Amino acid sequence: MANKSEVEYAATGRRKTAVSRVRLMPGTGEITVNGRNYKEYFPTIDLQLVIEAPFKAIESVGKYDVVALCDGGGVAGQAGALRHGISRALLQVDETFRPLLKKAGFLTRDPRMKERKKPGRPGARKRFQFSKR
């Protein structure tokens, strides 16, 4: 784990049912998720690119260390929550990042959630098989 620095920014990111608590501090670009390296925690390259995206948007790859705790949801939801949390923490670092992050859509919390199951149906919209006789 990284040394405790004087400057630390904290933020929360959410996506679907996943929540990510992010601590951002100046450093070498090390990203730790639940005590593991993010490339180990998120094995697919697509998810790794999702997490790196806010840093690429503001052109500051390798300037900040991230320590995050992710909980709930699946790996894709957690990656989205982590991206949201990192973006919010970067705003605390410098408010001038807002137009770049906003244009990329990283500051908006994705409101899409799973639709609830309805009574008398097997799922949210699916119906039981119709039988004429």
Nearest one of 78, 87, 15, 2 to 41, comparing CA atoms: 78
Tell me if 121 is assigned to some domain. no
* Cβ partners under 8 Å of residue 102, min gap 6: 108
Domain hosting 56: range is: 9-104
- Give the per-residue pLDDT at 6: 76
CATH of the domain at 30: 3.30.230.10
Cα(87)–Cα(106) distance, rounded to whole angstroms? 6
Tell me if 1 is assigned to some domain. no
Per-residue pLDDT of the chain (133 residues; tens, 9 = 90+): 545 557 899 999 999 999 999 999 999 999 999 999 999 999 999 999 999 999 999 998 999 999 999 999 999 999 999 999 999 999 999 999 999 999 999 999 999 999 999 999 999 999 999 999 8
**Measured CA distances, 122 to 29, 85, 110, 119, 127 (Å):** 47, 35, 26, 8, 6
- Give the per-residue pLDDT at 133: 86
Tell me if 74 is assigned to some domain. yes
Q: What is the tally of structural domains in the chain?
A: 1
Give pTM, 2 decimals.
Answer: 0.88
Tell me if 94 is assigned to some domain. yes
Cα(111)–Cα(106) distance, rounded to whole angstroms? 13
- Give the per-residue pLDDT at 78: 96
- Give the per-residue pLDDT at 94: 92
